[in-house]
Structures are given as structure tokens and as C-alpha cells.
């Protein structure tokens, strides 16, 4: 116990967190972490909470949640149960469960906090072999880092160098109870197949394979970090302020450098890393498509699109061009599909001059079809479709940009311009947009 606590304590003290969040599944590894964290909290006085994610996949899930709450109470640590639902259309059950689990955990990790998870050296070996099976490069073969930035804080894996047998030995020594997830025996899942069919053979042949894999993972991580360091300047020169990537800059690079810059682009956006084949498709089918094309490449939860000789990562969106709603003074209008919210208020600092009658006719639309507008500073009116092109609005945003109408007349296109007939003082329009 003392040797494990020393490893645990050292990994946390180096970070000096504001709060520690424990991912508590109830399995032996996180159960032991709960005991170690209880001791650490008493010694250091840091705020600690445990979060149990209730997936509802097992008939025992309710009982596991209850046990985690009871164990946390005994340990003197607050426990929060997050109940989630899985929609694994197009994804494996494992992948979907992992994504929703980390999404639930992220709600409790604020700036300066750390999330601690119970992965150990057997998990590291499994992760390395899974990456090898997928044909991953240095980044994938880096497997899991003991400490890494995550969301608003850090992930720390205090037991990453400790084998499962040692964790089980100490847990039994402390007479701890834990849950056994029956799905861990199901070898239809790749990780379980490796755990039960592959790892035992490897460990029997090479007892120190855990250490060898850890060294290889660390070397791969060093190589990946070196690549990023050497290419950061080139990446920054290709990256625009809106997060897009310059095709012209990429075209001037060798194929190897270009592919690495694309990988860095995905890493920068914290997106799942595409395969080599997908990277080739991004370049051949999107970047190099004919000038009059509007190419779209679907990659899981995002689309890769092109506009003005730049590549964009775009979240698929609902069709909202037929949505319309009245806008009232001093009332917040929630826009559809997470586009944001609007508020019109009377203000001498505002840039819209409206009569009382005009105010009563205001509405918001997303459909530019058939509309014309006369932006302030322009000599004449133009079709809104042409103005979107002139103002550099990507095609996928042209029916997601709020249009303020007075009857059928355009008053303003939010984020772009106000119209000359309504320019003046009297009303202020605030749009709190949400990035997509």
C-alpha cells in the first residue's frame, strides 16, 4: 500500500490541482484509486470528488452506482452519478461508451483541475496492441500518456506503470470490495480479446513486456513531439484565424510534410485522427477538386469542406433555412440548432435607426432566397447571395447566418453588415453566436 501511495502521491503533487476528479467505475483499479485519494485528501486538504458514469448497459448498473456512492461516502469523498444514454449508430459500442463517459466527466473538470483515471500497465499494453492492429503511426503508438492536457484541465493516470496483479494484490490486502463488469469477459470486443487471449501468452513468454511497451510508447511520444516542434512554424503559417488551413501553403510542401500538417490540424482541433487513406482523400477529393466544385468529405462526426482555397472542419448541421420568428425589444430570442441567441435593445449607442412601426414588424430569418440588401458604405443594393460571396461567407454558413427583416426588407445581416436605409442611432442588436 505504501509504495503505491508514494507513486500516487508523487503524480498528484507535481500538478498542484485546484480540484481532483476521480473517474470511479467501481472496478478494482478505480476502487483502489478511491482509497488512495481518500488518504491523499486527508493529508493535503485538496477538494476531491468522484464521478460514476451510469451507462445503463448492464442489469447490474443501478447496483454499481449505489455501491460507488456508498464507497465514496465511507471514503469521505463526494460522489456524483452521471446517467448517460448511448447512441452508437455508425460507431462501435466501446467507442460510443468511451466518448459519452469522457463527455460526462468533462462537466466536472474546470480550469486548474485534474481528472484521475485508473489505467495501469496492462491497459497500456492493450492500447499499444490495438494501435498496432490499426496500423497507427508514432502518435497512435504513443498509447496513453501519464499526464496530458484535457479539456479545461489535465488527465493524470497515477497507476500507468503498475501491473494489474499488483493493483489486485493491494486491493485484497486492504480488504476492498469492487464490482466485476461481466462485459469485460466478452471477447467479441477487441480489447477483451487482447486481454484474455493475447496478453497472457505474451507475458508468459516475455515477463517484462509491459516495461518494453511503455518504453516504446514513450519513444513514439518523443518522436511525435519532435515532429510537432519542427513543423510548428510551418503549421502556423498554414493555419488561418478561423481555424481553416491554406491549400496553397500545403501544396508547396512535400507529401510527407503535408500529411503531418493535416494531422496537426486535427490534433489542434482535438478531433479523432484520420487514417492515412482518409488524409489522402482530404487532399485528392477536397483540396484538389475543380474550382467550380463544392466538395464534402464525411469523416465520422465532421465534414471536411473547401472554401476560398482553404480547408475547413465543419460539424454537420440541421436544415434551418425555413425557420422564422418575430424579434421583440428586450426579449432574448433563442435561435435554432445552437446558432446562438439575439437581443434587440433601445440604446443611443446602437447602430440601427427604427421607427416604432418598423420595430413591430421585425423578424429573423435564415433564408436569403430572393432577398436584396444595401450594406452601409456600398453604392447600391445587391442580391444577398452575391453579397455572401463578396463578404467571404462559406457556403455552409449562408443559411445559418441570421437575417434581420422589417417585413420583407433586409435591415441587417448579423456579423456582416447593417443596411443603409436603417443606419443610425436608437437600437442595438446583440448576437451571441456559438462556434460550430
Contacts of 219 (CB under 8 A, 6+ apart): none
| Residues sharing a CB contact under 8 Å with residue 309, sequence separation 6 or more, in sequence order | 246, 247, 248
Three cell numbers written together for 29? 483499479
List, as one string, the DSSP characters of 94-140: HHHHHHHHHHHHHTT--TT-EEE----HHHHHHHHHHHHHTT--HHH
Does the annotation list 26 as a binding residue? yes
136 in a labelled binding site: no
Contact 155, 193 (CB under 8 A): no
User: Coil, helix or strand for 408?
Assistant: coil
Residue with cell 480540484: 19
Is 242 assigned a ligand-binding role in the annotation? Answer: no
Where helices occur in 195-353 by DSSP H, the ranges are 199-205, 209-238, 247-251, 255-268, 276-281
Backbone dihedral angles phi then psi of residue 408, each to the nearest 5 degrees: -105, 5
2 is in an annotated binding site: no
| Residues paired with 294 in a beta bridge | none
Annotated binding site: 25-30
Annotated binding site for ATP: 25-30
Amino acid at each position: 500500500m505504501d509504495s503505491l501511495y508514494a507513486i500516487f502521491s508523487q503524480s498528484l503533487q507535481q500538478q498542484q490541482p485546484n480540484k481532483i476528479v476521480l473517474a470511479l467505475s467501481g472496478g478494482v483499479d478505480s476502487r483502489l484509486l478511491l482509497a488512495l485519494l481518500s488518504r491523499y485528501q486527508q493529508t493535503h486538504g485538496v477538494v476531491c470528488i468522484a464521478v460514476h458514469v451510469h451507462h445503463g448497459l448492464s442489469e447490474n448498473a443501478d447496483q454499481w452506482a449505489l455501491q460507488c456512492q456508498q464507497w465514496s461516502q465511507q471514503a469521505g469523498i463526494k460522489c456524483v452519478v452521471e446517467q448517460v444514454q448511448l447512441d452508437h449508430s455508425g460507431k462501435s459500442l466501446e467507442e460510443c461508451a468511451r466518448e459519452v463517459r469522457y463527455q460526462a466527466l468533462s462537466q466536472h473538470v474546470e480550469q486548474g483541475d485534474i481528472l484521475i483515471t485508473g489505467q495501469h500497465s496492462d491497459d497500456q499494453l492493450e492500447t499499444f496492441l490495438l494501435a498496432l492492429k490499426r496500423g497507427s503511426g508514432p502518435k497512435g503508438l504513443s498509447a496513453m500518456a501519464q499526464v496530458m492536457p484535457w479539456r479545461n484541465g489535465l488527465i493524470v493516470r497515477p497507476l500507468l506503470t503498475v501491473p494489474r496483479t499488483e493493483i489486485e494484490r493491494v486491493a485484497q490486502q486492504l480488504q476492498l470490495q469492487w464490482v466485476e463488469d461481466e462485459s469485460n469477459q466478452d471477447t467479441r470486443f477487441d480489447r477483451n480479446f487482447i486481454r484474455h487471449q493475447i496478453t497472457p501468452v505474451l507475458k508468459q513468454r516475455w515477463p517484462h513486456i509491459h516495461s518494453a511497451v511503455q518504453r516504446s510508447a514513450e519513444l513514439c511520444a518523443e518522436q511525435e513531439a519532435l515532429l510537432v516542434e519542427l513543423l510548428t512554424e510551418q503549421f502556423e503559417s498554414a493555419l488561418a484565424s478561423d481555424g481553416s488551413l491554406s491549400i496553397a501553403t500545403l501544396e508547396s510542401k512535400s507529401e510527407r510534410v503535408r500529411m503531418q500538417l493535416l494531422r496537426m490540424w486535427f490534433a489542434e482541433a482535438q478531433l479523432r485522427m484520420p487514417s492515412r487513406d482518409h488524409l489522402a482523400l482530404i487532399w485528392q477529393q477536397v483540396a484538389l477538386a475543380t474550382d467550380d466544385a463544392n466538395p464534402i468529405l464525411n469523416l465520422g462526426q465532421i465534414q471536411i469542406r473547401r472554401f476560398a482555397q482553404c480547408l475547413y472542419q465543419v460539424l454537420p448541421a440541421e436544415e434551418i433555412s425555413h425557420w422564422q420568428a418575430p424579434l421583440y425589444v428586450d426579449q432574448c430570442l433563442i435561435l435554432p440548432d445552437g446558432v446562438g441567441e439575439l437581443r434587440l435593445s433601445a440604446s443611443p449607442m446602437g447602430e440601427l435607426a427604427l421607427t416604432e412601426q418598423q420595430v413591430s414588424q421585425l423578424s429573423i430569418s435564415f433564408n436569403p432566397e430572393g432577398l436584396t440588401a444595401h450594406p452601409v458604405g456600398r453604392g447600391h443594393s445587391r442580391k444577398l447571395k452575391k453579397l455572401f460571396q463578396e463578404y467571404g461567407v462559406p457556403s455552409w454558413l449562408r443559411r445559418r447566418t441570421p437575417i434581420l427583416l422589417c417585413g420583407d426588407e433586409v435591415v441587417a445581416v448579423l456579423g456582416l453588415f447593417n443596411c443603409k436605409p436603417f443606419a443610425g442611432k436608437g437600437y442595438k442588436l446583440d448576437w451571441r453566436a456559438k462556434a460550430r
